[in-house]
Every structure is written in structure tokens, then in C-alpha cells.
Homo-oligomer: A and B are copies of this chain.
Amino acid sequence: MVERIVEAARVVLVRDGYESFTTNRVADEAEVSPGSLYQYFPDKSALVTVVMDRWSAEISDRVAASLAASGPVDVQDPAAVRGIADALLSALEADAGLLRIVWEELPAVRHRAAQHALETRVRELLAVYLSAAGLRSADPAARAWVIVMAVENIAVRWVLDRPAISRDDLLDELTALAGGFASGSGADARSPE
């Protein structure tokens, strides 16, 4: 039943948009009475939260799965970062419909928590790479934060806006950004080594 409702919620969200995401419509879609919905969720926003949490977890899992599937990561290899970015891109593309609603229609407040969770997980993944790559940044945490924020927006917007950049080129750019940047040393990254 919870399953049915959450699935219906997701369908309504993607199909009709957040403006039309009403408790009655979700109930309709789930072929359930509005009252039943309130037996499992305290209010409408709880429903959104659950959908968001699941989606965020799915993305995390997909990223993790992708990485696992591509074998052990040699963190010395620049390709490692490419792998992470690739996995993230694929994960976002898997449900671009929901991504669009979340990013463009949902007030950020509604998915803040899920987004934070995702960012944290990606930051952790990145941290492994960064530390192993022997980066010399004065503040590794700051650097990780910066990279994650950068990659997040770039990946999302690429999927949603489809700028005239091929997937491969984008991955090249992302690798350059995170990689070149990471192996550099803060503000002096551009000086000869």
C-alpha cells in the first residue's frame, strides 16, 4: 500500500508536474481513497519527501553500482574521475523526467535533505580519490566541497538543458576540471611544476 502510494506519487509528479501534484490526484492514481493516504503519511510534504529520498538513494546506488561494475579504481589514473562523472551522468539520465520536476518545479526546500544526502555521498566517493591522488591543497574539505558543487550543477544542467556538447566532450571537461584541478595545488595550480 505504501508502495502503491509512493509509486503513484512519483507518476503524478513526473506526469503532471508539481503544481498538479495534489493529494487527491495521487490518491486517484493509486486507486486509493484520500483518507488511506493519510494513514501512511502525515501530510502532503511527507509524500514528496519520501519520493525524493528514494530517488536520491537510487542515484547513489546507481553511481555505486556503476563504479563497482567498472572494476577496481586506480585512483592514480585520471580515468577514475571520468568514471565517477560518467556514473553520475548515467544515474541522472535514468529518470530525467523526475530530475526535471525536482530541479525546475520543486521549491528547493522540498528536496533539500535528499540533495544534501546525495552530495555527501558523492563527496565521500571523491575524497577517496582526492587523498589517494596526493593532492596538496591546503584545505581538502574545501576543495571537495567546491568540486562537488561544480559537478552537481554541470551534470544536472547538461541532462536538462542538453547544451551542444557531446557526452564524451562533457566527460573530458569534467575530468579536466576535477582532475587537473585536484592534482594542482590551490591558487598556484597554474604555475609550472
Contacts and interface: CB of A to CB of B under 8 A. Distances in A.
Interface in A126-182: 137-139, 141-143, 145-146, 149-154, 157, 163-165, 169-170, 172-177, 179-181
Contacts of A104: 107-109, 112
Total copies of this chain within the assembly = 4
Contacts of A109: 104-105
A1 B42 CA distance: 30
B163 A145 contact: yes
A180 B189 contact: yes
Given A107-B107, A145-B163, A157-B149, A190 B177 contact: no
A85 to B, nearest CB: 11
Contact count band on A: 35 or more
A156 to B, nearest CB: 9
A107 B20 CA distance: 13
Contacts of A179: 189-190
Contact of A146 (B106, B143, B174): B174
Interface of A: 18, 78-79, 82, 103-109, 112, 137-139, 141-143, 145-146, 149-154, 157, 163-165, 169-170, 172-177, 179-181, 183-190, 193
